[in-house]
Amino acid sequence: MGPGKRSAYAAVTVVCAVTVLATAGTAFASPTPTPSASASGSASTSASSPTALTPAPNTDLEAVRQKLDTLYHDAAVATDSYNAAEEKAQQQSAAIVDLANKIVQGQQKLDELKKRAGAAAAAQYRGGGLPDEAHLLLSDNPQQFLDGAGRVLQGQRATKGLIAEMTQTQQDLEQYAADASTQWKRLEANRKAKDSARKKIKARIAEAEKLESKLAKEEKKRLAELEEEAAYQAQTSWLSSGILDEINGKASAQGKKAVAFAAAQMGKPYEWGAEGPKTYDCSGLTSQAWLSAGDPIPRTSQEQWKQLKHIDVKDMRPGDLIIYFDDASHVGMYIGDGAIVHAPRPGRTVTIAGAGSMPILGVVRPDA
């Protein structure tokens, strides 16, 4: 291992050991729970009981850690579903407002066309019902008749055009109404999807909190240590591949702005569905960071993975987004030196973590 690699490795190890691992827990997308009186009460009760004096074996606590990871992961997936439904609902609401304006404008146009059509019909009626031949025979001035006949012909053509425009306007109004009805149905479907996701998020978090509340004080401390160890081992394994020797990309001007924004949110609580300014979920943080840099990106981690340009891990640079887990349920922003800034999970705050402390799905670049 060369000097450069050793220094980089040491620097990131320090980051992981001090800043990353000081914040326990695997990162997922979900809300920040508020400690309840019942939870603290059960903890103090168990601490005073005979069983609480003997911490559970590490194997049992490891099973608890894995169960908590699963619960928070399920909450993360549901959070992405909630955020996606919320984003679509906002778009559909805007579309309904736009269609409503078009319907109002179209109805006003149709009313005006009807007035013009009525005036044209009245003018033709006043012209008399005699055929053109009779008008020609009775006319003292044939040229004047021909001139008048030409004007009548022009009027008839204009009337036909008026009728065609009225017909098109009526068809447009019918289409606007049908589109609005469709958007209303989609809006209702997304409202139900949001409610379903909200219930699932709350259920998973409540189950996780209940599981944690059953642990004694010493067990909770050891559980946190197990979480830290798991993250540390994953990061160490990632670094040992020599990946940092290959990653040397420089941040773009926009990337620097996005990193600065995300870093400025350090210490703010995690809350599912939140986009700041006081709380964030994982994709709320990354989407707002890039919005502040002048480059709006999709709201959810799954859509960020689908829509943004994919980059090889070795080619990533500060500001790029690392997508985690096979279902793209978590996202963090790469800040250099093998680290990310991200909003982890309930009970955690925006913090720095090792880029390899979770299973990496891939990397995307918002300003490709």
Annotated catalytic residues are 282, 330, 342
Q: Are 292 and 258 in contact (CB under 8 A)?
A: yes
Would the CA dihedral through 218, 13, 250, 313 be positive or negative?
A: negative
Token pair 């053109």 is at which residue? 132
Question: What DSSP state is assigned to residue 278?
Answer: S
**d(C-alpha 60, C-alpha 57), whole Å:** 5
Token pair 């919320």 is at which residue? 86
Bridge partners (DSSP) listed for residue 353: 340
SS3 for 54? coil
- Other beta carbons within 10 Å of 82: 26
What are 186's two structure tokens? 């989609």
Q: Edge to edge, what strands does the sheet with 321-324 contain?
A: 309-311, 360-365, 321-324, 330-336, 339-342, 351-354
For residue 71, give the nearest of 196, 224, 205 by alpha carbon: 205
Single-letter code of the amino acid located at 43: A
Q: Are 262 and 289 in contact (CB under 8 A)?
A: yes
Q: Are 175 and 109 in contact (CB under 8 A)?
A: no
**d(C-alpha 344, C-alpha 34), whole Å:** 16
